Amino acid sequence: MSRQHRRLYCSGVVENSPLLVVVDTDADTIVGTMPVGSGGEALCVNETRDELYFSGPGDTVLVLDCSGDTIIRRLAAFPGRTIQMMQCLPERDLLFSFVYGRLLVMDLASGYRGQPDSGPWPACVRAGSDRSQILLRQ
């Protein structure tokens, strides 16, 4: 949900076509839909950047500018892997993705992507022992 623009974003399927659905939460009405190809299941809002990230066709992440509900860029996420879940950590500019049982991370500022236990992260990150948490090391 974009609190600033009072919009709720959710994925849906209409006539076997995946869609991103945009809801105006003040009016409780659908104000737009966007076809997302074979993706759209995973999504999260980055309030700091005022952007929505959602899984696009194949292994891409589509970036939507919440102020105009327009797609502003496409990120090559994790080649050959379909993203199943996503979560943002805006204060560190990181996007976490769950892909086939593995936690992967993308630095939104540099574009670096990889596994949490490797890479040039400003704060090292790793999956918790039960894989339900992301632990940050100071």
Q: For the chain, what is the total number of helices (H) and then of strands (E)?
A: 0, 13
Q: Which residues lie closer than 8 Å to 121 by C-beta, 6 or more apart? A: 94, 105, 107
Residue 117 belongs to some domain of the structure: no
Count up the domains in the chain and report the number: 1
At 78 the pLDDT is 66
Which residues span the domain enclosing 31?
A: 7-111
Output the DSSP codes for 11-42.
EEEETTEEEEEEEETTTTEEEEEEE-TT--S-
Residue 130 belongs to some domain of the structure: no
Identify the DSSP state of 118.
S
Residue 119 belongs to some domain of the structure: no
At 85 the pLDDT is 80
- Rounded distance, CA 24 to CA 92, Å? 29
| Domain harbouring 20, CATH code | 2.120.10.30
At 26 the pLDDT is 92
Output the tens digit of pLDDT for each of the chain's 138 residues: 677 788 888 887 777 777 888 999 999 999 988 887 666 578 888 988 999 988 877 778 888 999 988 889 888 766 666 777 888 888 888 888 877 767 778 888 877 777 655 554 444 444 455 544 555 544
Residue 131 belongs to some domain of the structure: no
Residue 30 belongs to some domain of the structure: yes
